[in-house]
């Protein structure tokens, strides 16, 4: 018989629900800070849309990560920019030799999981740096990859300087998530390597899109991965459609400038959301960058981005959820003592 709920049970359940952030959260202070982060990109895009939009993409990581409570801790924003920009350059270097690129992704998956099991910095390597290596596979032109990496570092440096204007606040203690296992690292590397291998085999224009999607979606916990899988597909589609809609209006440069400010402010203001909304902002900026000079390619770009995202998510599901469930079932059935022996 199920015992009746006590007031303590109800209070505990309410506490768990209140600890989880709302599906879509908005905060004005981070949004204003994000708008300030966006100012250099918004000014550059008026004169040079390509460089301005690329700089906006570089500022996004600082906006998404949120404001650290102390000024000393905010210095890590520059390190974050480097840990995102430099791996992209590494991916660009690897893209010249597909076999080495695929093998490197597989190995880096294991190494990053081992690092993540030991420290928070390792978790950044696994959740951000590794996917950016995958993104870099789309940029076999080393000059382009180096330029994007430099813009990300510059963007994070500017974001760090602006963040120093915000007052400090007491630091809240966050629970340390459990580290991933070596088994998870092997599956993570396999998912990214498989996506990269398919991209190279099919000679996709953006090899890194499916690879990055797989690496960004996979998480050690099944619940979080399911949430990110659905969220990424929906967010990518929404961001791409919004970008296409704006480009087809053929707006003046000033509208692009306002769009940059609104996008980075939106990414910063919603960074605490439980739903995975970040890809909508990144995809929006990427589509403006890809389409502003070639709006007639919008439909092809949309299909390419969405299909490759779905490929990455499917591979993440296969390696992150389906394979462990299958192994658990096989292990469970194999461990039973046969009857009549």
Q: How far apart are CA 197 and CA 214, in angstroms?
A: 13
Backbone angles phi, psi at 195, to 5 degrees: -60, -40
Predicted confidence at residue 18, as pLDDT, reads 46
Give every CB contact of residue 49 below 8 A, 6+ residues apart in sequence. 253, 256, 288, 292, 293
What angle do the packed helices 298-317 and 222-248 form, to 10 degrees? 180
Mean pLDDT per 10-residue run, the chain (341 residues)?
Answer: 45 45 84 92 90 84 83 84 86 93 96 90 88 89 80 84 86 66 94 96 92 93 89 93 94 94 94 88 91 88 94 95 88 53 38
pTM greater than 0.85: no
Tens-place pLDDT, residues 189-206: 999 999 999 999 999 988
Contact 199, 244 (CB under 8 A): no
Q: Cα dist. 117→26, 78, 123, 175, 180 in Å? A: 31, 23, 7, 14, 6
Tens-place pLDDT, residues 43-61: 999 998 888 888 888 788 7
Domain spans, the chain = 27-167+180-328
Strands (DSSP E) found in 127-278: none
């Amino acid at each position: 018989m199920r015992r009746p709920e006590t007031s303590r049970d109800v209070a505990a359940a309410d506490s768990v629900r209140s600890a989880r952030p709302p599906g879509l959260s908005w905060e004005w202070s981070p949004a204003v800070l994000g708008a300030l982060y966006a100012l250099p990109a918004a000014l550059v895009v008026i004169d040079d849309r390509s460089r301005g939009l690329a700089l906006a993409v570089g500022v996004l990581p600082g906006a998404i990560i949120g404001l650290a409570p102390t000024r000393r801790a905010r210095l890590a924003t520059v390190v974050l920019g480097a840990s995102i920009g430099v791996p992209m350059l590494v991916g660009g270097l690897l893209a010249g030799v597909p076999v080495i690129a695929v093998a490197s992704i597989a190995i880096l998956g294991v190494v990053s999981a081992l690092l993540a099991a030991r420290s928070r910095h390792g978790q950044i390597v696994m959740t951000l740096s590794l996917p950016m290596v995958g993104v870099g596979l789309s940029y076999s032109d080393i000059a382009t990859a180096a330029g994007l990496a430099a813009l990300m570092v510059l963007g994070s440096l500017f974001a760090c300087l602006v963040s120093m204007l915000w007052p400090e606040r007491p630091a809240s203690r966050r629970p340390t998530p459990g580290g991933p296992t070596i088994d998870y690292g092997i599956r993570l590397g396999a998912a990214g390597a498989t996506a990269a291998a398919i991209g190279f085999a099919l000679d996709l224009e953006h090899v890194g899109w499916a690879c990055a999607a797989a690496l960004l979606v996979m998480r050690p916990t099944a619940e979080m991965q399911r949430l990110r899988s659905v969220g990424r597909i929906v967010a990518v589609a929404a961001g791409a459609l919004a970008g296409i809609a704006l480009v087809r209006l053929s707006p003046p440069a000033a509208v692009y400038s306002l769009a940059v400010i609104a996008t980075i402010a939106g990414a910063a203001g919603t960074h605490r959301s439980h739903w995975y909304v970040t890809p909508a902002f990144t995809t929006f900026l990427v589509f403006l960058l890809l389409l502003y000079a070639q709006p007639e390619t919008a439909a092809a770009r949309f299909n390419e981005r969405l299909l490759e995202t779905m490929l990455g998510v499917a591979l993440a599901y296969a390696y992150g959820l389906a394979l462990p469930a299958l192994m658990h079932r096989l292990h469970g059935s194999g461990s039973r003592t046969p009857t009549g022996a």
